[in-house]
Amino acid sequence: MNATDPLLRYTPLLPDGTTDAFLAACQRPLPRAVWVNPVRADDPPAVVASILRRCPEARPVPWWPHAFRLPADTTPGAWIEHRLGLIHVQEEATLWPAALLDLAPGDRVLDLCAAPGNKTAQIATRMGDRGLVVANEKVRGRLSQLRYNLERLGLSSVVVTRGDGNRFPIPATPFDHALVDAPCTCEGTTRKRGHREASDGFRRGLQSTQIGLLRRAIRCVRPGGTVVYATCTYDPEENERVLDAIRPDEAVIEPLSPPDGVRLAPGVPAWGGRQFRPDVVNAARLWPHLNDTGGFFVARLRRLG
């Protein structure tokens, strides 16, 4: 253990006695994950069989149908199935947010921070590519990757827009659901990218943006609609503190039911001397040493009337 590791600031959040396991997991290569695209694949079981032929070590992922975990040194992005849009490569933990939306064919869904389009594609395929998905992205340079992924996967129900999510126009006809995959310090991606410590000022700026995005998403959905908030960071200032900024009469944070065999840690009720709204404990944090994934945080809110 390196006593100067910036991730040690999260030791109070870890299950007792798991600090060394957490830091060790952050240094290990991250397994790859792929899922079958039912819009392109006329016969998903045949594509599954192809995945298993190419990688007999593949194991099912509990977050998503026809999704598989592959060894870290596998390169599914080079497979012909990927080029044809039959499969998509996506980090395992990030498969969960779209699974938490109450999606049905014909729904109207807003993805407020969409690039590179992984979760956008999940939403559209979950709806059978029927309905409307608005994929909004603020950064112009990220639009090409977003459009490429959506076109490769053959998704026709998605409309791409560019703009600041904090100022996304309130629609005359509200969305049924919204996803806020918020920009963050990305501390949960150390297994892919390493880690650079963020300054306190940078964290405060992100928090302001995150709160604005979540508030906007809630305003854009109908009463009774769901909003999923997600980040790939451990920081309660970017997670529970953001949820705490939402008034209890605007939205409730719903309990989550993990798939069998998945170990989640509940949201923390307080951090840095600040007590949060009681239902933040219904959120969930994924630690890399508990499920051999990246680090992730997710919460599902339901807008009140």
Which residue numbers are catalytic?
232
Residues 283 and 295: their CA atoms lie apart, in Å, by 14
* Contact of 162 with 153, CB cutoff 8 Å: no
Q: Between 143-152 and 118-126, two packed helices, what is the crossing angle to 10 degrees?
A: 30
Map tokens 């126009």 to a residue. Answer: 169
Give the N- to C-terminal CA distance of the chain in Å, as an integer: 49
Per-residue DSSP letter, 170: P
What is the bridge-based pairing of β-strands 132-137 and 108-111? parallel
Q: E strands along the chain, which residues?
A: 32-36, 59-60, 67-70, 87-89, 108-111, 132-137, 158-162, 175-181, 221-231, 251-254, 265-266, 270-271, 274-275, 284-286, 296-303
Residues 178 and 221: their CA atoms lie apart, in Å, by 7
